[in-house]
Amino acid sequence: MTSTELLEEYEANRQAEAALQQSDRDGIETVMKYAAGNAAARATIDLSAVRSDARLTLLTMDDHELKALASAGAPKVRQWIKGKDHGIFGIPAVMPSKTIETRASSRPPNMSPQEQMVWRIQAHVGKPDHSKEFKRA
């Protein structure tokens, strides 16, 4: 590597790190602004900078919890957003969101697309079509 290539790589890494810190800072500032605001102001705050699991927890918190979060300070809010032990009394922890099993994912995982199609057709054919409708008496 030449010295120019090394400097370019260093500068690219530095800019990437700065962007990461900026996005993290925006999330913390957004959470603190949301927690400190009143109900009318909260409705207008864009929470897209906050992780989805932290956003879900934030939206389910009551006014007392939000007040405690707003007064906690940036380092503790950062820990709260990451889902780590934050040390803020009375604040629910951010739990990682669980994946929801859909009907399509309940199929056996080792089926080829053709086998899945046959499986789907057999399930449809196996339904009873001779059932009677409920009628009012």
Residue boundaries of the structural domains of the chain: 3-82
Q: Is the pLDDT of residue 136 over 70?
A: no
| Exposure of 82 in the CB half-sphere (CA atoms within 13 A) | 12
List, for residues 14-59, the tens digit of each pLDDT value.
877 766 555 566 688 888 899 898 888 888 888 888 888 888 888 8
Residues listed for the chain: 137
- How far is it, in rounded angstroms, from Cα 106 to Cα 108? 7
List, for residues 88-98, the tens digit of each pLDDT value.
888 888 877 65
Record the tokens describing residue 128, joined without a space: 């009873």
Asked if residues 65 and 91 have their Cβ atoms less than 8 Å apart, the reply is yes
What is the SS3 assignment for 44?
Answer: coil
How far apart, in Å, are the Cα atoms of 122 and each of 21, 39, 106, 115, 126? 53, 53, 16, 10, 6
Mean pLDDT along residues 63-84: 87
